[in-house]
A = this chain, B = another copy of it.
Amino acid sequence: MQADVLLERAQVTPRAWFRCIDGCPGEIPLTTVIYRCPSCGALLEVAHDLQALRQRTAAEWQRLFDDRYKRTTWPYGSGVWGKKEWVQPHVEDSNVVSLDEGGSNLFWAERYGRELGLDELWIKQCGNSHTGSFKDLGMTVLVSTVKQMIADGSPIQAVACASTGDTSAALAAYCAVADIPAVVILPRDKISIPQLVQPLANGAVVLSVETDFDGCMSLVQQLAREPGIYLANSMNSLRVEGQKTVGIEIVQQFDWEVPHWVIIPGGNLGNTGALAAGFLMMRELGLINRLPRIAVAQAAAANPFFQSFERGFDFLEPIMAGTTLATAIQIGNPVSYEKAKRAVQQFDGVVEQATEDELAQAAARADHGGLFTDPHTGVALAVLEKLVAKGEIQKQHRTVVISTANGLKFPNFKVGYHEGTLPGIGDRYANRPHILSSDYEVVKAAALGAVDGSISNGSLRNQ
Tell me the A residues contacting B by CB distance below 8 Å.
Answer: 69-70, 72, 99-100, 103, 105, 107, 110-111, 125, 128-132, 157-158, 160, 173-174, 176-177, 179, 181, 183, 185-186, 188, 193-194, 196-198, 200-211, 215, 219, 222-223, 226, 228-229, 253-255, 364, 367-370, 372, 406-409, 411, 414-415, 418-419, 431-438, 440, 443-444, 446-448, 450-452, 457
A374 to chain B minimum Cβ distance, whole angstroms, is 11
In the complex, are the beta carbons of A370 and B177 less than 8 A apart? yes
- SS class, residues of chain A in contact with chain B: mixed
Closest 5 CB pairs of A and B: A100-B105, A177-B370, A70-B70, A176-B370, A208-B433
Provide the residues of chain B in CB contact with A185, threshold 8 Å. Answer: 443, 447
Known: A103-B70, A201-B418, A408-B408. A446 touches B370 (CB 8 A): no
In the complex, are the beta carbons of A451 and B210 less than 8 A apart? no
Q: Which residue of B lies closest to A409 (CB)?
A: B408
In the complex, are the beta carbons of A226 and B372 less than 8 A apart? no
A451-B182 Cα distance, complex, nearest whole Å: 8
In the complex, are the beta carbons of B447 and A205 less than 8 A apart? yes
In the complex, are the beta carbons of A209 and B457 less than 8 A apart? no
Known: A69-B70, A70-B103, A438-B210. A368 touches B447 (CB 8 A): no
In the complex, are the beta carbons of A431 and B200 less than 8 A apart? yes
In the complex, are the beta carbons of B364 and A201 less than 8 A apart? yes
Provide the residues of chain B in CB contact with A204, threshold 8 Å. Answer: 431
Q: Which residue of B lies closest to A215 (CB)?
A: B438
Known: A219-B443, A447-B158. A372 touches B418 (CB 8 A): no
Provide the residues of chain B in CB contact with A181, threshold 8 Å. Answer: 450-451
Most interface-central of A197, A436, A438 (chain B CB within 10 A) = A197
Provide the residues of chain B in CB contact with A99, threshold 8 Å. Answer: 105, 107, 370
Provide the residues of chain B in CB contact with A209, threshold 8 Å. Answer: 436-438, 443
In the complex, are the beta carbons of A207 and B372 less than 8 A apart? no
A229-B203 Cα distance, complex, nearest whole Å: 48
- A–B complex contacts, Cβ < 8 Å, 16 sampled: A72-B255, A111-B177, A132-B408, A173-B370, A176-B369, A181-B450, A181-B451, A196-B433, A198-B372, A200-B431, A200-B432, A207-B433, A207-B446, A208-B433, A222-B444, A226-B448
A414-B125 Cα distance, complex, nearest whole Å: 24
In the complex, are the beta carbons of B435 and A188 less than 8 A apart? yes
Given A107-B130, A193-B418, A197-B415: 12 more A-B contacts, CB < 8 Å? A69-B70, A70-B103, A99-B370, A103-B103, A200-B418, A202-B368, A205-B451, A206-B431, A207-B447, A208-B436, A210-B437, A223-B443
> How many copies make up the complex?
2
Provide the residues of chain B in CB contact with A255, threshold 8 Å. Answer: 72
Provide the residues of chain B in CB contact with A207, threshold 8 Å. Answer: 433-434, 436, 443, 446-447
A44 to chain B minimum Cβ distance, whole angstroms, is 24
Provide the residues of chain B in CB contact with A219, threshold 8 Å. Answer: 438, 440, 443
A211-B438 Cα distance, complex, nearest whole Å: 6
